[in-house]
A = this chain, B = another copy of it.
Amino acid sequence: MRIFNFSPGPAMLPEPVLREAAAEMLDWHGTGMGVMEMSHRGKEFVSIADKAEADLRALLAIGDDYEVLFLQGGAIGENAIVPMNLFGGHTVADYIHTGEWSKKSIKEAGKYGRVNVAASSEADGFTRIPERSTWRLTPGAAYVHICGNETIGGVEYHWTPDVGGVPLVADMSSHILSRPLPVGKYGVIYAGAQKNIGPAGLTIVIARKDLLDRALPITPSAFHWKEQAAADSMLNTPPTYAIYVAGLVFEWLLAQGGLPAIEQKNIAKAKLLYDCLDGTRFFTSPVRREDRSRMNVPFKLPDPALDEPFLKGAKERGMVQLKGHRSVGGMRASIYNAMPIEGVRALVEWMKEFERKHG
């Protein structure tokens, strides 16, 4: 039996994707070898990588003025790789601080240049996105960095900040592909794959081509966007199997109707869960309504002593990984693209049953 896995990442993958990967493990399309065994420079794997890139470009409507790179190191790796690639010729970068993931980005960037925290919701316990009008941006900054969706805090930008002519850089690890995205408004978008794309170990970077001339001389070749772009992300051996599985996920997303259709499903799933939270005083959501994440839904029970019985009962009902991050406590349900609405329904039913018993 498959369970409902509410893990913040790595997370559930669509069952048809896993079935296809399993079926092709020893022999991909009659080649006599599995994808994991293919030379990354052979025509078989090149066709897989090309199709994955084309499908991702189609899903997000990425223009020709952007490079799409399949790299390694995750978002925490990119937290260093972004400033290495963008600080050249500049002295300061602006960061918007909205929680744990912004904090990591800010810490890493400080190794390569001066960081200005242009706005922060720390005083509000990271329960909101700071209004654009309060941001104190630096004219001529290298870039403005945001975390599009804070996986731990559960706050999400439902709007695209206008930062004038300075490139907007976004860590979108936990909400990329959950809805259509105006890529053209961003300078760089990056995402670890293990939430909404595919297996851990793959990092996607979407970078506007005119920004590729700014790398610091200390940038490692394997993480140098311009060098990787020139080598079709094969300057070093790419994480081939993760690219293949991500490609299967892209095919699955397209077959669902693409991101407009996926967004409707995600809206419906999130509404189900937030309506449950809003319809009771037993469970509480810490996040300001306008900034609530559709992907990661943190909530609390009235008494931390109830956390264990809640988790235990959830597990008995086939639901796991609902425990909140240790830094904030409580519960968190991560409901990425691959989580079926049945999983959210099962969770809401258990929440109501639990409230009847303990409320």
- What's the minimum C-beta distance from A209 to chain B, rounded to whole angstroms? 23
- Nearest-Cβ distance from residue A221 to partner chain B, whole angstroms: 6
CA distance A59 to B74 in the complex (A): 29
**Chain A: number of interface residues, binned into ranges:** 35 or more
Cβ of A267 under 8 Å from chain B: no
Minimum CB–CB distance from A16 to chain B (whole Å) comes to 11
Closest to A76 in B: B236
Given contacts A74-B222, A238-B200, contact A33 B12 (CB under 8 A): yes
* Alpha-carbon gap, A4 to B10, bound state (A): 33
Complex copy number for this chain: 2
Chain B residue nearest to A36 (CB atoms) is B199
Given A5-B37, A34-B13, A40-B10 in contact, is the A240-B73 Cβ separation under 8 Å?
no
CA of A12 to CA of B202 in the docked complex: distance in angstroms?
Answer: 21
Residue A305 lies at the interface, judged by CB distance under 8 Å to chain B: no
Check A218–B221 contact: CB distance below 8 A.
no
A33 touches B2 (CB 8 A): yes
One of B18, B217, B218, B235 near A34 (C-beta < 8 A): B18
A181 interfacial by beta-carbon distance below 8 Å: no
CA distance A148 to B107 in the complex (A): 36
Taking a contact as CB atoms closer than 8 A, the residue among B33, B107, B242 that contacts A5 in the complex is B33
Interface residues of A in 1-58 (CB under 8 A from B): 1-3, 5, 7-13, 15, 18-19, 21-23, 25-27, 31-34, 36-40, 42
**A241 at the A/B interface (Cβ < 8 Å)?**
yes
Contact call A74/B237, Cβ cutoff below 8 A:
yes
Known pairs A217-B111, A222-B73, A238-B200; A10 contacts B26 (CB<8 A) = no
Q: Are A236 and B26 in contact (CB under 8 A)?
A: no
Question: A75 contacts the other chain (Cβ, under 8 Å)?
Answer: yes
The reply to whether B239 and A77 form a contact with Cβ atoms under 8 Å apart is: no
A242 B239 Cβ-Cβ under 8 A: yes
User: Assuming A11-B37, A25-B22, is B72 touching A72 (CB within 8 A)?
Assistant: yes
Tell me if B10 and A37 are in contact (CB < 8 A).
yes
A126 is an interface residue with CB less than 8 A from chain B: no
Say yes or no: is A95 at the interface (Cβ < 8 Å to chain B). no
Contact A111–B218 (Cβ < 8 Å):
yes
A80 within 8 A of B: yes
Given contacts A13-B36, A42-B321, A73-B223, contact A199 B239 (CB under 8 A): yes
User: A201 at the A/B interface (Cβ < 8 Å)?
Assistant: yes
**Chain B positions within 8 Å of A219 at CB level:** 111
A235 CB contacts on chain B under 8 angstroms: 76
Between A9, A38, A39, A202, the greatest number of chain B beta carbons within 10 A of the residue's beta carbon is seen for: A39
**CB of A245 within 8 Å of the partner chain:** yes
Q: CA separation between A81 and B5, bound complex, in Å?
A: 35
Q: A: which residues have CB within 8 A of B? A: 1-3, 5, 7-13, 15, 18-19, 21-23, 25-27, 31-34, 36-40, 42, 72-77, 79-81, 104, 107-108, 111-112, 192, 194, 198-202, 217-223, 235-242, 245, 318, 320-321
Given A10-B37, A18-B36, A74-B237, 17 more contacts at CB 8 Å?
A: A3-B31, A3-B33, A5-B38, A7-B38, A7-B42, A12-B33, A25-B25, A36-B199, A72-B74, A72-B77, A72-B239, A73-B236, A74-B222, A192-B236, A199-B239, A200-B239, A239-B239
Please list the 8 inter-chain residue pairs (A to B) with the smallest Cβ-Cβ separation, ordered nearest first.
A201-B239, A80-B220, A3-B32, A22-B25, A76-B236, A77-B222, A72-B72, A7-B39
